[in-house]
């Protein structure tokens, strides 16, 4: 099982991983309802390196982005689910609207987002300036937390 890191702990761990020559991959999101699309994106991201960091939006950040009815699952429980995934090595939170500041501190070797965010990947400039790669991975068709919530509400 992976570990939940504070921002300072994660930056320290990143330094150790760099010293060990490990390739660090970073991705982020709300991960409010964990679904097969999330799992496959995380597995694909992890296959690109030695360590996968998943940064989760805090509850307040999710509510700002998705509206007052979200998140459906509190951040500590979302973190517990993420840490149980074999593909995820480290979990942390960010409270800002984007993880740009966190990414600038961690400076992963590879920054990953789903293709739905290809038009704007927060942290792109910082990662590329440090010599890292930024990739938008194809999404699993038919999976979206927002669509799942809509489908559940429609079935009432």
Nearest to 81 by CA among 62, 54, 108: 54
Can you say how many angstroms the Cα of residue 55 is from the centroid of all Cα atoms in its chain? 4
DSSP 139: P
| Structural domains of the chain sorted by starting position, each given as residue range(s) with its CATH number in brackets | 3-150 (3.40.50.620)
Encode the chain (156 residues) as per-residue pLDDT tens digits: 579 999 999 999 999 999 999 999 999 999 988 888 899 999 999 999 999 999 999 999 999 999 998 999 999 999 999 999 999 999 999 999 999 999 999 999 999 998 776 788 999 999 999 999 999 998 776 767 667 767 777 887
**In this structure, what are the phi and psi dihedrals at residue 26, rounded to the nearest 5 degrees?**
-130, 135
> pTM of this prediction?
0.92
């Amino acid at each position: 099982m992976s570990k939940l890191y504070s921002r300072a702990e994660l930056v320290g761990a990143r330094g150790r991983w760099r010293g060990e020559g490990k390739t660090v991959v970073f991705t982020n999101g709300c991960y409010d309802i964990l679904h097969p699309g999330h799992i496959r994106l995380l597995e694909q991201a992890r296959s690109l390196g030695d360590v996968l960091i998943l940064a989760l939006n805090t509850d307040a950040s999710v509510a700002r982005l998705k509206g007052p009815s979200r998140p459906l699952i509190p951040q500590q429980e979302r973190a517990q689910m993420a840490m149980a995934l074999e593909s995820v090595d480290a979990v942390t939170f960010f409270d800002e609207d984007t993880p740009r500041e966190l990414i600038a501190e961690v400076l992963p070797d590879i920054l990953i987002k789903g293709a739905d965010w290809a038009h704007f990947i927060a942290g792109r400039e910082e990662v590329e300036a440090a010599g890292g790669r930024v990739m938008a991975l194809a999404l699993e068709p038919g999976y979206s937390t927002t669509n799942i919530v809509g489908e559940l509400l429609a079935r009432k």
